[in-house]
Amino acid sequence: MNTNPHLRDAPAGLATAGPSTGVWPFVLGCALLGTIGIFVKEAHADPLTVTWFRCALGLIGLTLWVALRRQTRFLRLTRTTGPWVLTAGSLMVLSWALFFTAIARMPTGVAIVLFHVQPMWVLVLGALCLKESIGRRRVGAVSLAMSGLVLATGMAERPAAGDVGQGYWLGVVLCLVGAFCMACVTIIAKRLRNLPAGILAWWQCAIGTLTVWIWPAQHGWPALGTSWLWLAGLGTIHTGLAYTLIYSGMARLNTSRIALFQFVYPAVAILIDRLFLGQHLSYLQLTGIAVMSIAIWFAERTPRR
């Protein structure tokens, strides 16, 4: 009999559901996230305003999710979990703000690809903070993925003094820093693995709602009309619904399958870029995406000690 109250009250899917049942929720959630670029572009709002709407409306959706799962008691912070939960929430909000700032300076597909260096950051932080052994296979996979990253960003095709402005390279830096923040959240989540999946996301949205509101309050809210509809979709679809689906599927999938299916996100983003935003990636950049996908998937499949 399990005497740990956190494990005993955790979502049933963590222990009872089969792995195949999590595929479609996870894939659908990633596909929804892949459409985020068109919502951000059509909203015509500054990055911090977009961040606030995502947090505020996402908070509403995740509150409904937690209430329906009867997990509201897990929202209470303790001396043990409180500092970690608040730190993770702050880092995630920062990563969202950096991401929205970056996609204003570069193609959305490229920004999303750059954010997918997170697994590489996780490997490094896992070795440094959790004392996990990386191994030669993981080192090789990280090196290969970094090569793919160079191709995906277009650095090999676009000289610094060429037709790409400083804004593009600033966007690259913002994406890499944002990915690092997300990797830190992953490491913290590993320390809080007894918490149900949606609790961290709820606190992320709550922190963003309480802290970022001052920006749109001082600089003005978007004009009433279609902008609010796009922002509402960003909060309800790309935060509340998407993260509910992802967390639901993630609880039923092993790490290697998660690493494989998560690339639905950048694939859909690139398709949206091509179809709706008029932004095209070169064949060399697409090759870089493929190299990164293979490398990170290979690294995640490395047997753990």
Using the predicted structure, report yes or no on whether residue 26 has a pLDDT greater than 80.
yes
Rounded-to-integer distance, Cα 105 and Cα 99, Å: 10
Collapsed DSSP state (helix, strand, coil) of residue 225? coil
Which residue reads 């001052």 in tokens? 214
Mean pLDDT, residues 179-187 taken together: 82
Annotated domain spans of the chain: 22-300
Place 267 in a pLDDT band, splitting at 50, 70 and 90.
confident
* Exposure b/e, 13-23, CB count within 10 A at least 16 = b: beeebeeeebe
Q: Please write the tens of the pLDDT for every residue from 102-151.
A: 877 887 767 777 777 776 777 777 777 766 666 677 677 777 877 777 77
Q: What is the pLDDT of residue 158?
A: 57
Phi-psi region of 303 (alpha: psi -120 to 50; beta: other; left: phi over 0): beta
Q: Which residue has the higher pLDDT, 305 or 195?
A: 195
Using the predicted structure, report yes or no on whether residue 67 has a pLDDT greater than 70.
yes
Rounded-to-integer distance, Cα 170 and Cα 176, Å: 10
**CA dihedral angle for residue 110, residue 113, residue 117, residue 118, rounded to 10 degrees:** 120
Using the predicted structure, report yes or no on whether residue 14 has a pLDDT greater than 50.
no
Q: What is the pLDDT of residue 156?
A: 64
Using the predicted structure, report yes or no on whether residue 286 has a pLDDT greater than 50.
yes
Instruction: Report in angstroms the alpha-carbon separations of 10 from 6, 72, 190, 207.
Output: 6, 12, 15, 23
Q: pTM value?
A: 0.68
The residues, any chain, with a CB within 8 Å of residue 274's CB and separated by 6 or more, are 280, 281
The continuous run of DSSP H or E covering 219 comes out as helix 214-219
Among 231, 110, 122, 125, which Cα is nearest to 173's? 110
